[in-house]
């Protein structure tokens, strides 16, 4: 592996996985940096997904009690990294405040997904809602982005792959996950040619 983290693995995914472990272990950025013998700003940059030297990653991982390989190959844990709400369960109450900032264009990508954007401004970040019309059994390109994402199945059967997890959502089902995990969508309905979902992404400003 090169002096910086492998370009074959998304630096944003790696940094955010390390951040979640740090928070689970109740380390502040300052205490992690001090124990690892690195600069505080180095930890901040690493967690933001900026490519970092491998020797620095080893130092940080050592304090977190995980190897870089374990961090890269980490299995997602339901309830920590993602959670699924089926239409048979009582939905959890949700409260979101904000206002519509603008309505973006509707566009079609190469995988037959029609997306209409609504962007919201929240006090500490942004909320982006997208309507996805998934028209193909083929998986879309994997993507990552800052923030948390909710996928709510409106019609049909929507498939979503998040790192090592594959979820099949029927009408009324929803899944929450960290957008920094590589993910893609596909139409899992064997009868309908189109499945429709609502994607809501809440991220930093």
State pTM to two decimals.
0.71
For residue 117, what pLDDT is reported? 54
Distance from C-alpha of 141 to C-alpha of 111, rounded to nearest angstrom = 8
Largest CA distance in the chain: 57
> Residue 141 CA to chain centroid, in angstroms?
14
Tokens standing for 134?
A: 């998934």
For residue 78, what pLDDT is reported? 86
Spatial CA neighbour of 163 closest among 149, 181, 188: 181
DSSP 3-state percent helix, strand, coil across the chain (nearest 5): 20, 40, 40
Residues with pLDDT less than 70, the chain: 1-8, 88-124, 204-205
Domains of the chain: 11-72 (1.10.260.40), 82-203 (2.60.120.10)
For residue 69, what pLDDT is reported? 86
Spatial CA neighbour of 5 closest among 70, 49, 64: 49
For residue 3, what pLDDT is reported? 44
For residue 109, what pLDDT is reported? 43
């Amino acid at each position: 592996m090169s002096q910086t983290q492998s370009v074959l693995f998304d630096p944003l995914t790696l940094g955010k996985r390390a951040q979640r472990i740090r928070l689970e272990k109740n380390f502040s950025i300052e205490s992690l940096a001090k124990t690892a013998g690195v600069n505080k700003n180095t930890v901040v940059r690493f967690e933001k997904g900026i490519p970092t030297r491998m020797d620095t990653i080893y130092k940080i991982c050592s304090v977190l009690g995980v190897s870089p390989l374990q961090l890269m190959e980490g299995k997602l844990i339901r309830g920590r990294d993602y959670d699924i709400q089926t239409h048979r369960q009582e939905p959890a109450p949700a409260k979101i405040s904000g206002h519509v900032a603008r309505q973006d264009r509707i566009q079609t990508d190469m995988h037959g997904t029609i997306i209409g954007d609504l962007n919201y401004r929240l006090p500490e970040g942004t909320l982006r809602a997208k309507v996805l019309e998934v028209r193909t059994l083929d998986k879309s390109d994997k993507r990552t982005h800052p923030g948390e994402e909710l996928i709510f199945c409106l019609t049909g059967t929507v498939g979503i792959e998040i790192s090592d997890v594959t979820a099949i959502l029927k009408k009324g089902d929803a899944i929450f996950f960290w957008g920094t995990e590589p993910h893609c969508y596909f139409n899992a309905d064997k009868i309908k040619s189109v499945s429709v979902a609502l994607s809501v992404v809440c991220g930093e400003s």
